[in-house]
Each structure stands twice: as structure tokens, then as C-alpha cells.
Structure 1
Amino acid sequence: MLDDFFVRALVAGVGLALVTGPLGCFIVWRRMAYFGDTMAHSALLGVALAFLFDINLILGVFLVAALVSVALLLLQRRGVLSTDALLGILSHSTLALGLVMVAFMTWVRIDLMGFLFGDILAVSRPDILVIYAGGTLILGLLIWMWRPLLAATVSTELAEAEGMRPEVSRVVLMLLMACVIAIAMKIVGILLITALLIIPAATARRFAGTPEQMAVMASFLGAAAVVGGLFGSLRFDTPSGPSIVVAALAFFLLSLLYGGRLKARLTASNGSST
């Protein structure tokens, strides 16, 4: 079954969507979209360093994204600038550094378009193994840390009062995001990772009544966007990664029209059943 490149793309994309859904919910709840964008932009610097030091691409991207997270935390504690200004500096400087390094490495042939926009149709069997193994680990850690992460998202003071150490939860969330970005880079590309994290979660928010429902719905909506985007790409001969994001956008636009009504009906039916 996995001998067909289109089937491999579907399996890989659905596996990634199952992970980005719940993680994207925390990005939406915590209003960390710009932070996710910053980490995604830093991925290109990770790619350049991976080629320079001849290390695994996923490892290189993860290390750079993790370092960017640590740098942001340290700069925030020093209070030198506002968070949005720091994110802007880190985002554009890491992207620019990556592009400059790639330009200097004339002995290496790098497909920038592939890294920027992804190539899910080129996913191999080892890539699928990495996606599902890494995704299982990320989901396992997310489930294990669900309560402290959710408490810190709702109220830092409340989490501290309950002895949950919200700062640790924040670091864990950042590292999980770094893992997802490293895994997703080859599939949807650096510039589209944040969209796959945010759009399904934002769509699920229009329908879900609880955080758990929103996490599950975000995963299913992301998977549906992958399937719809890939078949749309096959039908209309469009780029696969952007087509997936366009499909996710279509679901979001539909949620703006019907999400409120459906959520009200679900709430009313749950109330009447109790």
C-alpha cells in the first residue's frame, strides 16, 4: 500500500494533522500564533546549520527552534523589549541568517522552495516512521501534561496556587512545538507550518464546547484538510502543501457561517438530555 506516493502522502499528512490539532489549540488559547511563526522561520537556519555540520535535518531544525525558545524566555526576563518586538527580531533575523548561510554554501545544493513550501508527495517510508514515532511521543507528553498546561493557560496564578509550576509547562509547550515544526517541515514547509497549527484549531473552536472536544475536533479537521487538499491538488494540479492550507481555510470559512448555529444546537441538546 505504501508503494504508492499518493498513499504515502495521505498517511503522512493525516499523521501530522493528528498531532498539530491538539498542539494548535494551545497556540490559539495562549495567543501564540506569532511565536509559532517565529519558530517556523527559524527552521531555515536549522536546515542551513544541519548541512554545514552534516547532521540530521530534523535534529538541526529542532535544536535551532529550541534555542530560539530559550532566547525568547531569557530576553523576556530581562525586559529589554516587548514580546512582539522580540518575536519580530527573532523571526526575521533567523530567517535572514538561514538564507544568507545557504547562499554562502555554494558546495551544497539546497531546494529552498521545497523547504519553504514542503513536498508531501516526496515523503518516504522512513519519513512516515519518523512522523508517527515522533507524533506518538508528542501526543503522549501532551496528554501527560494536559492538566498543568491547561491550568497555566487559563490562569498562571491559579496554576501556581495549585503547585503546578506554569513556567515549566510553558517550556514543555515550546519544546513540543519545536518537535512538531522539525517533523512537519518536509511535509508542508516552513512558511505553512503555522497555518496547519492554527487554522484547524481556530475552526474547531467554533464548534467545541470543552477543551478536550476542541483538541479532538482540531485533529479531525486537520486530517480532513490534508485529504481534501491532496485530492484537490491531484484534481487541479496545484502545489500540495498550499492546497492543504487552502482546504483548511475553506473549513474555517464554513465554520464562520455555520459554527455558531451548530454549537448552539449541541449545547441545547446536551442541556435537554441532562
Structure 2
Amino acid sequence: MTIGGHGATAPLSALRFAALAVLALLAAAPPAAAQGKLDARYEVTLAGIPVGKGTWVIDISDDAYSASASGGTSGLLQAFASGSGTGGSQGRIVGGALLPQNYSATVRSSKKSETIRMSLAAGNIKEFAIEPEPPVDPDRIVVTEAHRRGVLDPMTGSLLRVPGSADPLSPEACRAGGAIFDGRMRYELRLDYKRMETVRAERGYSGPAVVCAVYFTPIAGYIPDRAAIKWLAAQRNIEAWFAPIAGTRILVPFRMMIPTPLGMGMLEATQFLTQASPPRVAKTQ
């Protein structure tokens, strides 16, 4: 989900980026086929003050998945940096692994609008474009062809798949990390287990969540002197709280906590409606 516009301060830019980048990567071992849906609503606060809202809808079938998100600034932040955004990812499920095929994201502010589109195959970027095309910045670290191989889009990278047959809400869920390309920047995310917690949405899910520490490392496509990038890369107290999509071994962020110089930034689900879907019955003659 996209929060905010282009005129915010560095800490707020870091908060928006982290909310977009939300987490984790896919393990290699295939689980059994499973199906489920999620309809979630999120609120973003900074030092306890509401600054944004967003939605996230995910549909997992036995051989395909789709995820779409939208969001925008609200409350006090809207007076300073109005903005909104939408995004989505679709792909196939092969041997239990999520293989993205298409990704798009559009961010709008009072001054401009930008759209990123990507197509992928077998973890490699086939095509990508930014509209309008941004100006070339000599200070930006160049993204090479090698940087665009073996990656996930940021939406698929937010779906944490836990292999095996044991309870997915366990320390094993946080043993993840890997490569993300968002159409502009290539970066690495790494998770480490911290603890278990109990969460309760205003509507929907109430139960355990696994809490992972999140570490962000920029690789290419960024300007090293940018304050927001430096801030995120230096953080050692970012947390993501993951809850399950019923009927699957997929976990998604229920809450994210990101320290900023202006106070704690938090993205938290106010609605987390999830249900298992009945298995698809093969057609017979």
C-alpha cells in the first residue's frame, strides 16, 4: 500500500518506503496446495497520530495468486504532503512457490503522478518501465542486468511462505531473506525471529502472530546520499508482525513498527478478514 506524496521529510519518506517494501521472501521447499483469501484494511500512524490508510486484497488459489493494494495520506500529514497510490501483482504457483508475472504501482501527489510496470519470468525481469521516464541522475547507482535476475517484485515479496507441514506461525517463518526489485531500486531484505505475540483486529483475525526483525540493504538504483535510504539501512529495530491467510501457508504483515526521529511509525491492520477457499474440483468427462 502506498502512503504519502513526494514532498514529505526524510523520516516520512522512509516510513512510506518501508510500508511499500514490506517484507520477506519465499522459502524453497514446496508446501501442499492450499487456497485462501484476505481482505485487509490498514492504518498508518506516526507518534500515535494517524497519517495514512490503505487496503490489501489477496487471493491464493492452487495454481495462481493475485494481490492488490491502495492507500493514501490522511489526518495531519494530508495537510503537508497529500498523496495516494495503487499497486498489484499477479503470478503462478508452481511446486508451492509464488512466481510473479506482472507488477504495477502508481503513486500520485499534488504535483505529479508516476507509474511503474514490470513483467517477470522465472524470477527474472523481462521488461520494466517508469512513466513518465525519470531524468538520469549521475549520482544514482546503476542497476545492471545481473541485478534484475533472481528477484521478486515488492508485492510478492510481502507474502511470506512457510514450507513444511508444521504450524507456520513459528520461528521458522522468520528464516527468510532475498532480493527485491521495485522497478527503480534493487535491495535485499533479511528477517530474524524475535518473539510471538497475540494480535486482534477490530474486524476479523484474533490470534497469534510471529514477530520478525527486518533488515534492509540497498544494492543498486538508489542515490547513496539520500537521507531516507541511509536511515532505513541503519535501522536495527524495525519489526514486522505476521499473521496467516486461512487455508494456506502464507503469512502477511499484520503490523509494522519503524522508528523515526519524529516518533514510532506504525502500520497496523484494523480489518483482517481471511477465509479458506474450498479446493477446486477437477472436471471429469
TM-score range, shorter chain: under 0.3
Of the two, which has the highest radius of gyration? Answer: 1
Q: Compute the TM-score of the two structures, normalised by the length of structure 1.
A: 0.27
1 or 2, which has the higher strand percentage? 2
Q: Compute the TM-score of the two structures, normalised by the length of structure 2.
A: 0.26
The higher-RCO structure (CA 8 Å, 6+ apart) is 1
1 or 2, which has the higher helix percentage? 1
